[in-house]
């Protein structure tokens, strides 16, 4: 395999997740290990996720001049497990993402002229509020009215589904007397 054009496409977390699941089942059926370059990519992606989650550990390994000792087969499992961990939208069971919903989301968000990076981040984070949308879209308040922003949040909820973990956290916070971010923004 040869790379013809580096970084010509960006994949969402769901697409990476689905690819890893498909590869695992394909090689399991054939009762053989995946190609070395696949294992290398999985290892590198795992290290990126590992170091993003634990920057102090990253510094310790960097100072020692080594990388965390992880078995290759464990890398894929750990990466899949990480991608299924809260607050990731992929942690919701059953997973509400599908190849069709990705194309539907892109089509429905087309009128807003979002960049590819913004759409991938929307897929990865599934924003459920305008505050969450603010972390994804650059110059959100300058580019879009409040109505348009609310429409985008509603489109995400319709196409990708509501993220129940977030709703449960908000309900628990209200029951405990805490103020949610939406309540604070409204007051």
In whole angstroms, what is the distance from residue 101 CA to residue 161 CA? 10
What predicted TM-score, i.e. pTM, was given to this entire model? 0.60
Per-residue pLDDT at 147: 93
Q: Among all chains, which residue has been given the structure tokens 């054939």?
A: 30
Contact 42, 132 (CB under 8 A): no
Per-residue pLDDT at 99: 82
In whole angstroms, what is the distance from residue 117 CA to residue 5 CA? 18
List of the chain residues with pLDDT < 50: 1, 71-72, 165-174
Per-residue pLDDT at 83: 66
Provide Rg for the chain, Cα atoms. Answer: 19
In whole angstroms, what is the distance from residue 89 CA to residue 104 CA? 17
Per-residue pLDDT at 109: 92
Neighbours of 51 (CB within 10 A): 17
CA atoms within 13 A on the CB side of 129: 12
């Amino acid at each position: 395999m040869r790379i013809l054009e580096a970084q010509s496409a960006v994949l969402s977390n769901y697409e990476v997740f689905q690819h890893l699941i498909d590869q695992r089942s394909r090689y399991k059926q054939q009762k053989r290990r995946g190609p070395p370059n696949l294992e290398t990519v999985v290892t590198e992606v795992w290290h990126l996720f590992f170091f993003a989650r634990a920057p102090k550990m990253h510094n310790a390994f960097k100072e020692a001049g080594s990388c965390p000792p992880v078995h290759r087969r464990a890398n894929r499992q750990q990466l899949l497990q990480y991608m299924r961990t809260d607050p990731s939208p992929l942690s919701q069971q059953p997973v509400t993402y599908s190849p069709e919903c990705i194309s539907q989301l892109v089509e429905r968000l087309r009128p807003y002229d979002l960049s590819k990076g913004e759409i991938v981040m929307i897929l990865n984070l599934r924003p459920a509020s305008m505050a969450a949308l603010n972390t994804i879209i650059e110059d959100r308040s300058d580019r879009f009215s409040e109505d348009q922003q609310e429409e985008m949040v509603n489109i995400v909820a319709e196409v990708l589904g509501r993220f129940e973990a977030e709703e449960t956290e908000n309900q628990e916070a209200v029951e405990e007397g805490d103020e949610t971010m939406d309540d604070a923004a409204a007051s």
